[in-house]
Structure 1
Amino acid sequence: MAKRLFPRSIRARLTTVATLAAAVVFTITAAITLATAPANLRGAVQTRLELAVRRVAGELESGEFHTVLQTPSRVQLLQVVSARGNVIATSPGVSEIPTLMRFRADQPEKIYTTELTLSRHLTEPEAHYLVMALKVNSPIGVTTVYGAASLTDVDKALNWVEVLMFLGIPLILLSVAGIAWAVVGAALRPVERVRAEMAEITGQDLSRRVPVPDTGDEITDLATTTNHTLDRLERTVETQRRFVADASHELRSPISALRAQLEVASAYPDETDWRATGEQALAAADRLTGIIDELLMLARLDAGAVSERRVVDLVRVAEDQIRRRTGGRVPILPDLCASAPVYGSPMQLDRLLTNLLDNATRHAATRIDLEVSVEGDKVIVTVTDDGDGIPPQDRERVFERFTRLAPARAKDKGGSGLGLALCRDIATAHDGTLSLADHSPGARFVAVFPAPEHA
């Protein structure tokens, strides 16, 4: 098993990333500082010292000679030494320093620079100095101007920089890690509450919801979406439970009727009309077959199963339906256009039209109107009967599974309440709609499908 470069915990990962990012930034900053700080600090001292040395050299060349040299701020020593090595001018209060004589300027008008350890007085301890020498030709002969500026403050500053870099950066990184750990932990605390609540939710109790923080950030959106998902899940589970209960009830009725018929026939074989009993048993079996077929198709639609699809002409489907229903209880009056292509499953579209016409046949008084038309990029199928109609408040209920209104139960005790629900699911699976339109007398079902782009 490969080792993970980062920990599994989001909190630990974010803390690690923040600490590594801070380490990279501070390391680069430290490297740049350590590379440039010495040159910058020494450059400032060198600039002041060079100005002082060149000022004295300029005075010598112009003949303005003074045995006591005034030193500017932060320049500790100025001396003028003759070609024989005699100190002919120096800063006030400074003892002769022979060690400067070993540092000589060979070429005139050229600044020579070095660093020496020396003392301004015999009683002072030695210190680190930046020393410059400049040879000039003056009215009193060839002379060398020496200057020295202390590097003690520079060395102290560099020492502090190194201490801050090598001790301060680890402390800063520890602080960054601690702050990141605390901040991420606070940010993820609502997620932990959501997780804990989700862990308590079971299929037996889907009414619980996760807490929604009022921070207004992505975690709020996550909690809100989770609650919406739980709402849909609860409705789906409730629908499935009701579906299973209703299916069990609907299947129990024909099975019980069939069992009772067979038990009576078996108990009184000599008195049984076996022909009538067989016909009743076949009718019960047909009803069971119809219910099971519709349940299987609904289950496939719920599972998102995609059946074989192609371009289907609904006009041809409607003509087949009319042909099969010739001589029925009520006539079907067609109003069909020349062609109405729809991309879909031939079996499912035929089942939709079958269920709509079966429903209309049960409720129609004298006629059924079947219209198929094309309007723009829509194919419209309309089935209208002249029966009692459906009250407005029940026009959505009739599309629920196992829903049968009282008039429907009175007229036909063999229905299952699945036909219209299956029709709507088929229409939805084909990116279409199925609804009830206003019509009197009777009911008008309108199915709308998108026409294929290349029919």
Structure 2
Amino acid sequence: MLKRLYPRSIRARLTTIATVVAAVVFAVASALVLINVPDNLYGAVDGRVDLAVRRVAGETRVGRLPQALDVPSRVQLIEAVDDRGRIMGVSPGLNGRHLPAFPIARSDVVYSAERKLTGAREETEADYLIKAMRVDTPRGPVTVYAAASLSEVNRATRLIHTVIALGVPLVIVLVGVLTWLAVGAALRPVSRIRSELAVITGQDLSRRVSVPTTDDEISQLAATTNDTLDRLERSAETQRRFVADASHELRSPISALRTQLEVANAYPDETDWRATGARTLASAERLASIIDELLMLARLDAGAVPDRRAVDLCRLAEEQARRREGGRVPVVLHPCGPALVHGSSVQLDRLLTNLLDNATRHATSRIDLEVAVEGDAVVVTVTDDGGGIASEDRERVFERFTRLPDARRMDKDGSGLGLPLSREIAVAHGGSLVVAEHEPGARLVARLPLYRP
């Protein structure tokens, strides 16, 4: 039930919270005002009347009471009466009337009462605070009465009640309206961004949301949204290009394999099945190699984390050099010590395989392989003495399916995925792979974080 009553929109929630907080604050403040202000006003009148009674009683006690009593500020009526009802002193405002008497038990004690009177300034009866005090005088006991009107206190109290009864709800409503308008104005750019995002589809990621000039959180949100759309557009374009290039690269070995099988099937008596089997096996191996590289790239793109452990790159390099003994180009492994990296041994071995395969295709007489620990990094360097890589192509070679003219000429069966996959593996392990400046030939340098158990 509470969940259904709770507002769904941020605007309604903030307005509700602001209104409830304002209502609580004004309710507490109103309660404090209603409790304290009337009491303070009443206390001020009580204090003035009490002081007037005591002053006149003091004069009466020593026998200095004049017949016409001076009226203190805001104490309208004063009267001194003996036990037989004779007036010993009176203020001008009484005009021959008597203040109402009430029982007084002890002398020198001030007693209070409220009565309805018609004062000197009122035409109708009004509430008065009356105080009385009996004192003993040389002529006998005398009772002093003093009265002050409570009209101002009552008017002030009624005004406070009226202001609170009418003003507080009005202020609460005003707070709610202002909060609703202010939050609406603050969220208007968000609504515009949402509307603009709603029309952006996967087929057209070129559109961007408008960025407000307010330089606040909303403008930062819009800027971040545009940055995200930029990355999505680049990712979508890369994916489309990747799919197109993958289709093209896979079509070639599949077409070659199909052609060879169709020719062999059409002329079975004239076919050298041993040679045909060798050629189809080579095409199948190339197809399997491309698929393996594509699958590994897909896993890296998806952020898949394989089982990782401490891997000694020096040992992997030794195994690579041993496997390549007797090849077209010798691999010279420089002496190295333990170089531990925390990662996947399969992926790291694939990184070395791709770098050495690339160097083998371009090298003329020698490939140098170095593994060294430099500070907190393990540096793997593969250097060949081939034609090298032009400076403008040193980043292009890491684009998927990118093959430079020299690479196409030297190896028609390449896929253009080796170096991009190697860089993805290095980045996935927190490192990097770059083409360094070197003459003659090319030098590729991979830097990976050193693992310290």
Give TM-score, length-normalised by structure 2. 0.97
Instruction: List aligned pairs for 1:242-281, cutoff 5 A.
Output: 242-281=241-280
**1:452 alignment partner AA:** Y
% same residue: 62
Match of 2:380, SS state, is strand
**1:100 alignment partner AA:** P
Return the alpha-carbon distance in structure 2 between the equivalents of residues 313 and 177 of structure 1: 67
Q: For residue 145 of structure 2, what is the aligned residue in structure 1?
A: 146
Q: For residue 392 of structure 2, what is the aligned residue in structure 1?
A: 393
Q: For residue 191 of structure 1, what is the aligned residue in structure 2?
A: 190
Note the alpha carbon deviations across 1:75-121, whole angstroms, 9 max, x for none: 110101112222221111423444512x2432222211121112236
Q: Over aligned residue pairs, what C-alpha RMSD do you find?
A: 1.6
Instruction: Report the CA distance shift for 1:422/1:242 in structure 2 as closer, same or farther (over 3 A).
Output: same
Corresponding position: 1:71 with 2:84: no
Which piece of structure 1 moves more, 360-369 or 70-79? 70-79
Instruction: Report the CA distance shift for 1:121/1:190 in structure 2 as closer, same or farther (over 3 A).
Output: closer
Q: For residue 427 of structure 1, what is the aligned residue in structure 2?
A: 426
Return the alpha-carbon distance in structure 1 between the equivalents of residues 166 and 412 of structure 2: 90
Instruction: Report the CA distance shift for 1:266/1:375 in structure 2 as closer, same or farther (over 3 A).
Output: same
Q: For residue 52 of structure 1, what is the aligned residue in structure 2?
A: 52
Note the alpha carbon deviations across 1:276-320, whole angstroms, 9 max, x for none: 221111111111000000000000011111111111111111111
Q: For residue 412 of structure 1, what is the aligned residue in structure 2?
A: 411
Return the alpha-carbon distance in structure 1 between the equivalents of residues 352 and 285 of structure 2: 20
Q: For residue 84 of structure 1, what is the aligned residue in structure 2?
A: 84
Q: For residue 124 of structure 2, what is the aligned residue in structure 1?
A: 125
**1:164 alignment partner AA:** V
Return the alpha-carbon distance in structure 2 between the equivalents of residues 123 and 10 of structure 1: 58
Return the alpha-carbon distance in structure 2 between the equivalents of residues 63 and 179 of structure 1: 68
Q: For residue 40 of structure 2, what is the aligned residue in structure 1?
A: 40
Q: Which sections of structure 1, spanning at least 5 residues, go unmatched?
A: none
Q: For residue 326 of structure 2, what is the aligned residue in structure 1?
A: 327
Instruction: List aligned pairs for 1:280-299, cutoff 5 A.
Output: 280-299=279-298
Return the alpha-carbon distance in structure 2 between the equivalents of residues 374 and 360 of structure 1: 22
Return the alpha-carbon distance in structure 1 between the equivalents of residues 121 and 371 of structure 2: 120
Q: Contact conserved, 2:76 with 2:120, CA < 8 A, in 1?
A: no
Instruction: Report the CA distance shift for 1:42/1:122 in structure 2 as closer, same or farther (over 3 A).
Output: closer
Deviation at 1:57, TM superposition (A): 1.8
Q: For residue 166 of structure 1, what is the aligned residue in structure 2?
A: 165
Note the alpha carbon deviations across 1:120-178, whole angstroms, 9 max, x for none: 36994211001111112233332111100000111111111111212221111111111
Return the alpha-carbon distance in structure 2 between the equivalents of residues 97 and 212 of structure 1: 83
Instruction: List aligned pairs for 1:355-394, cutoff 5 A.
Output: 355-394=354-393
Q: Contact conserved, 1:78 with 1:91, CA < 8 A, in 2?
A: yes
Q: Which sections of structure 2, spanning at least 5 residues, go unmatched?
A: none
Return the alpha-carbon distance in structure 2 between the equivalents of residues 121 and 428 of structure 1: 99
Deviation at 1:338, TM superposition (A): 1.9
Q: For residue 349 of structure 2, what is the aligned residue in structure 1?
A: 350
Q: For residue 10 of structure 1, what is the aligned residue in structure 2?
A: 10
Return the alpha-carbon distance in structure 2 between the equivalents of residues 175 and 432 of structure 1: 60
Match of 1:66, SS state, is coil
Return the alpha-carbon distance in structure 2 between the equivalents of residues 55 and 306 of structure 1: 96
**2:271 alignment partner AA:** T
Q: Contact conserved, 2:339 with 2:372, CA < 8 A, in 1?
A: yes
Instruction: List aligned pairs for 1:176-215, cutoff 5 A.
Output: 176-215=175-214
Corresponding position: 1:336 with 2:335: yes
Return the alpha-carbon distance in structure 2 between the equivalents of residues 286 and 104 of structure 1: 123
Q: For residue 444 of structure 1, what is the aligned residue in structure 2?
A: 443
Give TM-score, length-normalised by structure 1. 0.97
Residues paired across the two proteins, number: 453
**1:324 alignment partner AA:** R
**2:448 alignment partner AA:** F
Q: Contact conserved, 1:133 with 1:145, CA < 8 A, in 2?
A: yes
